[in-house]
Structure 1
C-alpha cells in the first residue's frame, strides 16, 4: 500500500539503531534464533519445485499489512539495509520448506515504480503485491495475474477530527460539507469518489506528504490514511495531537479492490503452476498463523525498518494495533468465495467494470475486453484454509 514517508518522534531511535546495526546483519534474536529447523514434508516441501529463492516485491516499506509474507521468513534472517530486503529460510509452522524467501521493500527503494512495472524490469521477482486497480491499470503492457489475496479489504480511509466535525460519520458527510480533503497526488480512489458523487473535485488537495503537521494545524480538513496505522499513531505517537480521530473505510463506499494480492507475470503462470500449487496454501496458512501470534513477525518487521533507516518509521505499537485492527475490521478475513486468500471473481469483474472507464478517461491504455480471469485466479488457493471463529 503506497504511502508517504511520515517522520515521527521515532526517527531518532531508528537512526541510533541503524547506526549500531550497520548496513547488513543477521538478526537471530528477533527471528527466534538460527538453529536448524525440521524439514517440511509433502506439499509443504518446495525444494526443486519453486525457485531456490522466492523473491516477493512489496509495494511499500515493511508494515503489518504485509504480514503474510514476512511471516514466511524463518530464524537467522538477514537484513540488507542497502537494497532494502529481508531474506531467510521460507518456513511454515516451524518447518523449513527447503527454499529461501526474500521480501523486498517498495516505495523509495524502487524509485516509487509501480509493482507491475518493477516485475517486468526485474525478472528475478517471483511474486509482486499488485492491487486490483493497479493490475487493471497495467493490463495492456505489463499484465499480471493475482494468485492469492491475504487481505480481503483495503485499510485505506478518510479520517477527520471528531471535535471539529461532530456531525461527520461518513465520506458522504465530508463531501456535503465542502471541506478540503488532503490526499496523495497519485491514487486510484479519488476519481472513484468523485465519480460516485461522494466528493467534489474542487475539495481535493493533492498535497498529502504523510507528515502530521497539516492535520494538526488545520483540524477542519479531512485526510487520507490507513485504518491500521494513523488512528494509533495520531493518538499515541503524535504528541501535538494525542487524541482519537474518526474515519470511514473507503472499502465501505465502493473501493472494492483486493489490496496487494500476490501476483505473477501473466505469461509465466503455466511455468509457475507446480510451485504455486504448494506455495499459495503456505501463504494462506502464514496469514492465519500471523493473526494467531503476531509478536515475532512484528519484531522482524520493526527490526527491518530500523535497519533500513530511510525516513520510514514504524513501531511495534503500530504493528500490534494493525494486527488487531485487521481482524476487527475484516481486512483479513475469509473471502466471500470461501477461503482466506481467495478472490471472488464477480467482485474482481465488478472492480474492472468500475475502474476501467475511470482509468481510460484518464488516458490509460487497457487490455481490450479485460475480464476477471485476465488478472486473477483461484486455481492455486486451497478452499479448506479458512480463518476460524476462534482464530
Structure 2
C-alpha cells in the first residue's frame, strides 16, 4: 500500500481527520495486522538525524516498494509487518539538515507527523509549550559517550579519569549533560569546550569529545590517515539516564491516536527485535537512503553491522529492569527528572513540575514482548 503521494503528508487536516474517524471503527476490523481502519496513511516518523542503525527498527517496517525522496530526506513505502502489508504507508523523514527546527517543533508545526524521536531530556525541556508523550523506547540505554585516544591515555577508563589528563572536553554547545557532569564534580568547568563541530577531532587534537559508541569508534579505526583506538564511557553510566530515542507523539492528540497506537506500538516492539536479530535487509535500506541523499553523511555495511553488534553488547538495546521490551520504568524517569529539571531551569528553560507519567506511557506496549 504505497501511495508515493508527497502531498499526503502536507497538512495537519489531511492527516488528522482519517485517524480521528478511524478510531471509532477499529473494532470492526478482524485482521490484527490491518492498520487501514485505525491509522491514517502515511504514518509519518520524524527522526532526529540521517538514517542509521539506531533507527533500524523503524526502517524494518518498510516494504520492498520503498522509494527515497532525496530532496525531502524522506523514505516512503508500504508499512509491512513480518511480511504482511498493513494497508497503510510509512514515511520516515531524516532529521539534521533536512529540518529547519528541532524534532518537537516540527511535530507541532506539521500535523501529518505522528511520531518524533524525542529523548526524555528534550521532552522535559519542551513540555511547557509543546508537550509530547513517549509510547515506546527503542533504545534502553543512550549510546552517547565521551571518548578519547586510548593509546595516549591507557590508564583512563572513565570521564573523570580523562578529565584529569586532557586540556578540554569538547561538546556541542551548552549541553545539560555537561552541566550535570560539572555539578557532580566529574568534569572541571574550565575544561568544558562548547565548540565541538562533530568532526573526528582525535585525529588532530589530544582532547576528549562527545560522540556515539555505535559510530565514532568504528570510524576512528578506519581513518585514511591510520587507525586510532578510542576508549569511552557511556553518559548513562555517569547517572545521566535519559531514555535517548523514544517514539513520542504530540500529547494533545493522544485520544485521537489511541486506536492506531494500540495496534501499531506492538509492531514497533517486534520490529526492533527483528532488526537486531537479522539486520542485513534493513541495513541495506538505510545505506541506500543515505547514498541517495548524497550528503557528507555516510553509511556502509561494516559500520551498520558494527552499530548493531555494539547496541547488543553494551545493552543499548535491552529489556531494562523488566522483561518487557521497550517499556518505561517510572523510578528511572522520576530519578532523571530530579536531576535534569534544576539544570534546565538554571539554563533559563521553563519546565513545570513533572512526573514520569507526564512524559511517557506503557499503555500501548505488549508486555509479553521481550528480548530473548
TM over 0.5: yes
Q: Tell me the equivalent position of 1:215.
A: 202
In the alignment, structure 1 residue 371 sits paired with structure 2 residue 355? yes
Q: Any residues of structure 2 matched to 1:238-257 within 5 Å, and which?
A: 238-257=223-242
Q: Tell me the equivalent position of 2:47.
A: 58
Q: Tell me the equivalent position of 1:354.
A: 339
Q: Pick from 181, 194, 211 the counterpart of residue 206 of structure 1.
A: 194
Q: Any residues of structure 2 matched to 1:172-321 within 5 Å, and which?
A: 172-177=160-165, 179-212=167-200, 214-218=201-205, 220-236=206-222, 238-321=223-306
- Normalization by structure 1: what TM-score? 0.86
Q: Tell me the equivalent position of 2:15.
A: none
Q: Tell me the equivalent position of 2:120.
A: 132
Partner SS for 1:126: strand
Q: Residue by residue, what CA displacement relative to the aligned partner does 1:89-125 show, whole Å, maximum 9, x if unpaired?
A: 11111111111000001111002x2211110111110
Alpha-carbon distance in 2 for matches of 1:51, 1:191 = 41
Whether the 8 Å contact between 1:178 and 1:200 is mirrored in structure 2 is no
Q: Pick from 147, 151, 156 the counterpart of residue 144 of structure 2.
A: 156
Alpha-carbon distance in 2 for matches of 1:163, 1:235 = 12
Alpha-carbon distance in 2 for matches of 1:114, 1:147 = 19
Partner SS for 1:262: strand
Q: Residue by residue, what CA displacement relative to the aligned partner does 1:116-156 show, whole Å, maximum 9, x if unpaired?
A: 11101111101100000000000100000000001000000
Alpha-carbon distance in 1 for matches of 2:30, 2:293 = 35
> What stretches of structure 1 of length at least 5 have no aligned partner?
1-23, 25-39
Q: Pick from 81, 98, 101 the counterpart of residue 109 of structure 1.
A: 98
Assess, with a 3 A threshold, how the Cα gap between structure 1 residues 211 and 241 changes in structure 2: closer, same or farther. farther
Alpha-carbon distance in 1 for matches of 2:331, 2:367 = 17
Whether the 8 Å contact between 1:337 and 1:343 is mirrored in structure 2 is no
Alpha-carbon distance in 2 for matches of 1:134, 1:337 = 24
- Normalization by structure 2: what TM-score? 0.90
Q: Tell me the equivalent position of 1:384.
A: 368
Partner SS for 1:268: helix
Alpha-carbon distance in 2 for matches of 1:256, 1:160 = 21
Partner SS for 2:224: coil
| Deviation of the 1:197 alpha carbon | 1.1
Alpha-carbon distance in 2 for matches of 1:43, 1:153 = 30
Alpha-carbon distance in 2 for matches of 1:50, 1:362 = 39
Alpha-carbon distance in 1 for matches of 2:175, 2:63 = 34
Q: Tell me the equivalent position of 2:3.
A: none
Partner SS for 1:224: strand
Alpha-carbon distance in 2 for matches of 1:292, 1:105 = 24
| Deviation of the 1:60 alpha carbon | 0.6
In the alignment, structure 1 residue 76 sits paired with structure 2 residue 77? no
Alpha-carbon distance in 2 for matches of 1:264, 1:294 = 26
Whether the 8 Å contact between 1:182 and 1:207 is mirrored in structure 2 is yes
Assess, with a 3 A threshold, how the Cα gap between structure 1 residues 41 and 169 changes in structure 2: closer, same or farther. farther
RMSD: 1.5
| Deviation of the 1:186 alpha carbon | 4.9
Alpha-carbon distance in 2 for matches of 1:58, 1:382 = 23
| Deviation of the 1:335 alpha carbon | 2.4
In the alignment, structure 1 residue 323 sits paired with structure 2 residue 312? no
Alpha-carbon distance in 2 for matches of 1:286, 1:257 = 22
Alpha-carbon distance in 1 for matches of 2:277, 2:85 = 20
Whether the 8 Å contact between 1:46 and 1:278 is mirrored in structure 2 is yes
> What stretches of structure 2 of length at least 5 have no aligned partner?
1-5, 7-28
